[in-house]
Amino acid sequence: MTHDEHWALYRADPHATPFQSPAWVEAWWRHLGSGERVDVIARDAAGRAVAALPCFVWMAEGERRLVPLGAGNSDHCDALVDRAVPDAPARLWAALERERWDALWWPDLREGSVLLGALPDAWRVEEVPHETCPVLAIPADGDVLAALSRSRRRKIVHDRHRADALGGVETRLAGAAEVDEAIDALFALHAARWQAAGETGVLADARTRAFLREAAHGLAAAGLLRVAVVRHGGEIVAVLLGFCDGRRGYSYINGTAFVPGQSFGTLAFGRMIEAAAAEGARAFHFLRGEEVYKYGWGAEPTRTMRRVVRRGR
């Protein structure tokens, strides 16, 4: 599948998230992938790609398992399917049938995934709930604050007033030319908070940092990256890296300086959520993890599923 075909499929699938975009999965493969890659591609009679599932081979417990690219670092894994082609899922199953595997290992599938649909009768399926991913519904009028509980609105307003009283606090989305500066600050802030807790955090690995930086630039070029930056006195004190595809907003990872009496993280999340609403998004995904602050925004829990498929009865 060519780079252009990959982007065309991504844009033809309204269920797809930025985790299925070429900007994300190709950067992941270059920096974190290893072993054998298997791109499962379904084409129509004219040779046009109508579904795809880029995978790698994971050998475990004597099994050859096909796993989606990005697994582990992607909160949602999925295939890409041209929803205008009715038989695209069947063509994808046929393409998978031709591949060599003992198990299809599909983590982090959300509701509506084609990979949760009906499979060939000869395949055995094991399915278990996997991760909790809180989602905030955005009102049709886009007024996020009005839809929050009174206590949450009061906290957000209070945090903004404290920032105003501190003075010199600015919150905005980073422009394309500011991505590297924001990412450098994210890495530093994230490391400092985890080190204070006696741990290293997920960004300690240089390969993960290189992957995230490359993915961020690719997503920015595609118009999918959103980075909320809070500055105090010109210094970056909070960074929230996320995405928005016009339908949904997402928060992926953040770093915040600890300043007594201040909540710069609230400012970053508020800016990101309000920006998504202004773009027409009707949901904001906090992604996996049940941190209390997510529910404080009014998010409701959703569950992803892990599906394991094997041949035969």
pLDDT digit string, tens, across residues 205-243: 999 999 999 999 999 999 999 999 999 999 999 999 999
Tally the residues of the chain.
Answer: 313
Residue 40 CA: distances (Å) to CA of 14, 96, 267? 20, 6, 42
- At residue 8, the pLDDT reads 97
The pTM assigned to this predicted structure is: 0.95
Assign domain 3-131+304-311 to its CATH superfamily.
Gcn5-related N-acetyltransferase (GNAT) (3.40.630.30)
- At residue 187, the pLDDT reads 98
- At residue 113, the pLDDT reads 97
- Topology adopted by domain 135-285: Aminopeptidase (3.40.630)
Q: What are phi and psi of 80, to 5 degrees?
A: -105, 130
Residue range(s) in the chain whose domain bears CATH number 3.40.630.30: 3-131+304-311, 135-285
- Residue spans of the chain under pLDDT 50: none
At 94-121, the pLDDT tens digits run: 999 999 999 999 999 999 999 999 999 9
Question: In terms of DSSP H, where are the helices of the chain?
Answer: 3-12, 22-32, 88-98, 144-147, 150-166, 179-196, 206-221, 264-278, 292-296
Rounded mean pLDDT of the chain?
Answer: 94
- At residue 14, the pLDDT reads 96
- At residue 162, the pLDDT reads 86
- At residue 157, the pLDDT reads 83
For residue 104, the number of C-alpha atoms closer than 13 Å in the C-beta half-sphere is 30
3-state SS, one letter per residue, for 231-291: EECCEEEEEEEEEECCCEEEEEEEEECCCCCCCHHHHHHHHHHHHHHHCCCCEEECCCCCC
- At residue 198, the pLDDT reads 92
